[in-house]
Amino acid sequence: MNNAAPSPARTRGRPRGNPPTRASIVSAARTLFLERGYRRTTVRAVAAAAGVDPALIAYHFGSKKGLFADVMQFQCANALAVDEVLGGDPATLPDRLIDAVTGLWEDAGFQQLTTQGDEAAEAIREYLEHELLARLVEFLGGRDATARATAVVTILGGLIYTRYLNPLPTPAALTPSETRRTLTPALRAALAPRSPATTTTGTARPRSPAPR
């Protein structure tokens, strides 16, 4: 009779790996991407700097593009720590959202990473869509949660574009505190629950004409 314990079932998807190993690779990659840029940073150079076999990078991240996305999203997650931003006083949530975005984009290292081609823009889009927007929908709840979260992310995306990616003189000249004061009313309105008489596009339903 075989009393050996059954082997555990294998799960689908890419293995998560050892977190310290992933962290050391991401840290080494960030340093090299800042020093050499995306194009001139090789997987072998990152592996050597992290003290790991190059095969581990393919195992954990899939490719150099996947590794770069992890570096960018690690930066986003540190600054836009969703649990911390959403976990405070609801009345000051707009302020925390704006402070998180400006804090991230005022960082010189992060700004340097954002200039490194389409890979950077794609990583930022993925973070805003799959992390911030999704978590906001979950946090807000209700039938109008998606519309409210979409409005919030649209405002924050506009801030990122007009202040950092393609700066306009007036938004770019504001200090972070001035930016907060300027945009807080718009974010507060975006976060507010919608009236039942309002459609998902934010337009009021037309009333039937009164009989004569």
Percent of residues, the chain, with pLDDT higher than 70: 80
Residue 103 CA to chain centroid, in angstroms? 13
What pLDDT score does 19 carry? 56
Burial degree of 163 (CB within 10 A; 0-12, 13-18, 19+): buried
What pLDDT score does 207 carry? 53
What are the residues whose beta carbons fall under 8 Å from the beta carbon of 157, sequence distance 6 or more? 128
Residue 24, amino acid: S
Range with the largest mean pLDDT of 78-92, 94-108, 177-191: 177-191
First vs last Cα of the chain: how many Å apart?
91
Task: Give the Cβ contact number of residue 115 at 10 Å.
Answer: 10
pLDDT exceeds cutoff 90 at 169: yes
Higher pLDDT, 139 or 19: 139
What pLDDT score does 156 carry? 93
pLDDT exceeds cutoff 90 at 202: no
Average pLDDT over residues 13-25: 63
Average pLDDT over residues 104-111: 84
* For helices 176-191 and 145-160, angle between their N-to-C axes, nearest 10 degrees: 160
* Band of residue 66 on the pLDDT scale cut at 50, 70, 90: confident
The token pair that represents 65 in the structure block: 């593009």
Average pLDDT over residues 178-195: 92
The token pair that represents 68 in the structure block: 């770069």
Percent of residues, the chain, with pLDDT higher than 90: 33
Tell me which of 55-64, 68-77, 88-97, 150-159 is least confident. Answer: 68-77
Tell me which of 16-20, 52-56, 117-121 is least confident. Answer: 16-20
Tell me which of 2-16, 62-76, 99-113 is least confident. Answer: 2-16
What pLDDT score does 184 carry? 95
What pLDDT score does 15 carry? 39
Nearest partner of 69 among 17, 39, 30, 28, judged by Cα = 30
What pLDDT score does 152 carry? 94
